């Protein structure tokens, strides 16, 4: 299977505005931001969707949330508030099949999940 666009970012084959990186996780700005802060927090391992995780991935999944929280703190939106979103498969509108968490903040959001 060919690399996902996010794996190509991890391999530095295409550019991205990288906000955070460690051995397991990379975070970069969404190319089509839906909020003043819109950062994607991505495991380097190319897991297609949340459906493809197992209990063995619990620590990694926890680290994705903690990393998103830390970036929210660094961006100054932790106190005002932020939203984390993970889309899974077609009905959720997932377009990139490499697991990721959207970190959204910097504006007052409603509760429209449509």
Q: Which is nearer to ligand AMP, 53 or 94 (CB)?
A: 94
Q: Is 40 helix (H, G, I), strand (E, B) or coil?
A: strand
Distance of closest approach, residue 113 Cβ to ligand AMP, in angstroms: 14
Residues 21-60 that bind ligand AMP (CB under 6 A): 28, 30-32, 40
Residues 6+ apart with CB under 8 A from 89: 49, 51
Q: Which is nearer to ligand AMP, 13 or 22 (CB)?
A: 13
Q: Is 38 a catalytic residue?
A: no
> How far apart (Å, rounded) are the C-alpha atoms in residues 18 and 108?
25
What the block records as the tokens of 31 is 């190319």
Number of other residues whose CB lies within 10 A of the CB of residue 71: 20
Q: Which is nearer to ligand AMP, 55 or 93 (CB)?
A: 93
Q: Which of 104, 90, 89 is nearest to 29 (CA)?
A: 104
Which residue in the set 10, 16, 25, 101 belongs to the binding site for ligand AMP (CB under 6 A)?
Answer: 16
Q: Residue numbers of the site for ligand AMP (CB under 6 A)?
A: 5, 14, 16, 28, 30-32, 40, 87, 93-96
């Amino acid at each position: 299977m060919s690399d996902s666009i996010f794996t190509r970012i991890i391999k530095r084959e295409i550019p991205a505005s990288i906000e955070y990186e460690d051995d397991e996780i990379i975070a970069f700005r969404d190319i089509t931001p839906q909020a003043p802060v819109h950062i994607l927090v991505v495991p380097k391992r190319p897991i297609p969707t949340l459906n493809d995780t197992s209990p063995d991935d619990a620590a990694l999944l926890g680290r994705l949330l903690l990393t998103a929280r830390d970036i929210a703190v660094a961006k100054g939106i932790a106190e005002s508030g932020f939203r984390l979103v993970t889309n899974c498969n077609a009905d959720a509108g997932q377009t990139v099949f490499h697991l990721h968490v959207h970190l959204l903040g910097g504006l007052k959001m409603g509760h429209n999940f449509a």
